[in-house]
Each structure stands twice: as structure tokens, then as C-alpha cells.
């Protein structure tokens, strides 16, 4: 019997996709959960897996455009093949090993186990990065060019960047923040945080909490324009920009005002890992009220972030550099970061924007303010 392979539903606004790559060619014998092909949309990429064992037939080619519900192949199988118990996949073995290791950690005591894990991580040999592939050399006088098709995600990124420039009154204000207090807290509680929550205490959770505090104080930044109305959000969903091979995408951490630092760090780490593997859903990329982007991880010292419509604001983080600053009439060296806040001037006035950024700066320079809500 034949089991049809159809293009699945991938979100309300998605009606078509492009065949990005084919992992298993026609005629291949596949098992349940084997990767068959990858679909590319204007928001996310999605891998289709075999739902039955048997002989695969693929009726599409790479770069073909397909629609939701379209039959794009089939698997020739039988009841006997379906009833056969497949060997345990490597994924399950890995989970079993992880479970045994976790139980071992419980037996030996959480603190000692975590220290062992950290030591193992430090002792792992560091693999040298692969040398970049050299570009093909042109002969003297030759003008070589290559051409490749723009991906759907890149098309949407380009479209939205132009839209932001053309449909908003976008301005940017700048400031700098002394991260001494944040770095001191991270150093003091680094090991304990990993021990208790199993995730590193990064900078982003501090910035998310500082943004939430500022959004509470200046609600215009948590608003958007709908026709002739300004709509204010009564919740705090923060988009965190993540760079991937396919381009920049912005998964949204929901209800950040209700989350702990550990929950924010865990959500961001999960999003980042799944974003790079193409495992995010459309829902996870929609509905954010404010965005934070960190160009500092790539070495950017200062930049002007572009709005993510219909959002009113986006905060740009940058590289931390030790610089001489004046504190109490004394020149001292502090870890400083430039902050950039781009905003829609149709909703927010310049004075409000400056005050919003100063609020973020003050909350980061004295993190206890965020705990006491002052």
C-alpha cells in the first residue's frame, strides 16, 4: 500500500513553500522518522520525516514551489513492514545514556556532579575551526561572477527592512552602560546558577528584565499603530534576534515579566539551538512587542538597528570594551557597552525615547532596582 507524503500546515499565513533540499532520493528504503526533504518558507524551514517504512518516491525537485496539502511523494509499504519493530534509534540510546548520567549525578550529589560536568567541558579538546574554502581564482583580466537564487527567508528580510524604512518615522538614540554590576553578579553566582538551573547566567536575561521594567514605565514602547488607533499591549513578549545560516530570525519569549532569569536564559538557549537547526515553528516567531538584538557577539561596537514592524522599538546591544570613564571625579576603567535604541517617532517622542533608554541603563548599572521594582 502507498502512504502519501503531503505538504503539511505550517501556519495560518503560509500557503506555499519551496523544496530546499532532498535528503532521500526516490527508490531509497526508508524507516520511520528518517529525514525525507526540507521545506523552505518565508518564515521557517521544516523537515519532513517518513511516517512509515518502505520504498520512497519523490515527485518534486529542489527549488520547486509546492502548496499546503499537495501530494509530493509516497512510501510503498506493507502491513508486515509496519508491524516490524524497528531497532532502537541512536537518539533513544543517547537519551538513555543521558538519563543514566543524570541518575548518577543525583546519587553523587548535585553539586559534585555539576563540578564534574564543568571540568569535563573544560577538558574537552578544542577542535580547530575548518579553514575557509578559497574562492575560485579568476584568470588575469577575467571578471568572474556567480549567481544563486535568493531564499524565501532572505526575500522577506529584504522586504521587511525596506518596509521599516518606508513606513515608519524611525529614529535612533544612543547611550552607554557600565556593566560592572552585572558582570560582578554573573561572576559571583555563575557556578551556583548552573548548579541550580542547568543553564548559564548570560547577559541577555538582564537586558530582557531591564527592557520589561522600561516598558512598564514607558508603555508607548509596547504599542503599535493599527489604522488610526494606537494599540497598547498589556503583556510583555520580547523578541530575541538570532543569527542563522539562512539569515536573522527573531523568536519571541512570551510573558517575560512573569519569568525568572533562569527561565529566560533557558528559553533563549532553546530558541537559539532550534533556530540554527531550522526547528522553530511559525507561532514562535510572531507577536513580539519589543526586540533585542546583540551585534556585540560578532564584534560590533556601534550600529543602528532597524525596526521590526509593527513594533515601536528595538534595542541594540554591542561589544563590551574596557574604557576609561569618570566616576566620582576619578578616571577609572570600566566594562562599557554602547546601546542603540531605534524607535517609531509616530508613537514615541524623542524625550520619551531618551528616558526609556536611560531607564534601561540605570537598571543595568544597578540590577537590584529590577528586583525591587524601583
Catalytic residue among 63, 344, 345, 366: 345
Q: Which is the catalytic residue, given 270, 349, 366, 373? A: 349
d(CA 45, CA 56): 21
Burial class (CB in 10 A: 0-12, 13-18, 19+), 364: buried
- The verdict on whether 345 is a catalytic residue reads yes
Q: Which residues lie below 8 Å from residue 78, measured CB to CB, with a gap of 6+?
A: 1, 54
Q: Which residues 6+ apart lie within 8 Å of 19 measured at CB?
A: 37, 38, 39, 40, 60, 61, 62, 63, 64, 66, 72
**Would you please indicate which residues are annotated as catalytic (active-site) residues?**
345, 349
Amino acid at each position: 500500500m502507498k502512504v502519501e507524503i503531503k505538504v503539511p500546515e505550517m501556519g495560518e499565513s503560509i500557503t506555499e513553500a519551496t523544496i530546499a533540499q532532498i535528503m532521500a532520493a526516490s527508490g531509497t528504503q526508508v524507516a520511520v522518522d528518517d529525514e525525507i526533504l526540507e521545506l523552505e518558507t518565508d518564515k521557517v524551514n521544516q523537515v519532513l520525516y517518513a511516517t512509515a517504512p518502505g520504498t520512497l518516491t519523490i515527485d518534486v525537485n529542489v527549488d520547486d514551489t509546492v502548496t499546503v496539502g499537495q501530494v509530493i511523494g509516497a512510501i510503498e509499504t506493507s502491513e508486515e513492514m509496519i508491524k516490524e519493530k524497528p531497532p532502537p534509534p541512536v537518539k533513544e540510546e543517547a537519551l538513555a545514556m543521558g538519563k543514566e548520567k543524570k541518575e548518577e549525578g543525583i546519587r553523587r550529589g548535585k553539586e559534585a556532579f555539576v563540578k564534574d560536568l564543568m571540568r569535563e567541558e573544560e577538558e574537552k579538546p578544542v577542535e580547530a575551526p575548518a579553514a575557509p574554502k578559497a574562492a575560485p581564482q579568476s584568470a588575469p583580466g577575467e571578471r568572474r561572477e556567480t549567481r544563486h537564487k535568493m531564499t524565501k527567508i532572505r526575500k522577506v528580510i529584504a522586504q521587511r527592512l525596506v518596509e521599516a524604512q518606508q513606513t515608519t518615522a524611525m529614529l535612533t538614540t544612543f547611550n552607554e552602560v557600565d556593566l560592572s554590576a552585572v558582570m560582578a553578579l554573573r561572576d559571583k553566582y555563575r557556578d551556583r546558577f548552573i548548579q541550580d538551573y542547568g543553564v548559564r547566567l548570560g547577559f541577555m536575561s538582564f537586558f530582557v528584565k531591564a527592557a520589561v521594567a522600561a516598558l512598564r514605565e514607558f508603555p508607548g514602547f509596547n504599542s503599535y499603530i493599527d489604522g488610526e488607533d494606537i494599540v497598547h499591549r498589556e503583556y510583555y513578549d520580547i523578541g530575541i534576534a538570532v543569527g542563522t545560516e539562512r539569515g536573522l530570525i527573531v523568536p519571541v519569549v512570551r510573558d517575560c515579566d512573569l519569568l525568572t532569569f533562569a527561565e529566560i536564559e533557558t528559553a533563549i538557549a532553546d530558541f537559539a539551538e532550534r533556530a540554527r537547526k531550522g526547528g522553530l515553528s511559525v507561532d514562535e516567531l510572531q507577536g513580539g512587542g519589543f526586540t533585542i538584538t546583540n551585534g556585540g557577539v560578532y564584534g560590533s561596537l556601534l550600529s543602528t538597528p532597524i525596526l521590526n514592524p509593527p513594533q515601536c522599538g528595538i534595542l541594540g546591544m554591542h561589544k563590551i570594551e574596557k574604557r576609561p570613564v569618570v566616576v566620582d571625579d576619578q578616571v577609572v576603567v570600566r566594562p562599557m557597552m554602547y546601546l542603540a535604541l531605534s524607535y517609531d517617532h509616530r508613537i514615541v517622542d524623542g524625550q520619551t525615547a531618551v528616558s526609556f533608554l536611560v531607564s534601561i541603563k540605570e537598571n543595568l548599572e544597578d540590577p537590584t532596582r529590577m528586583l525591587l521594582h524601583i
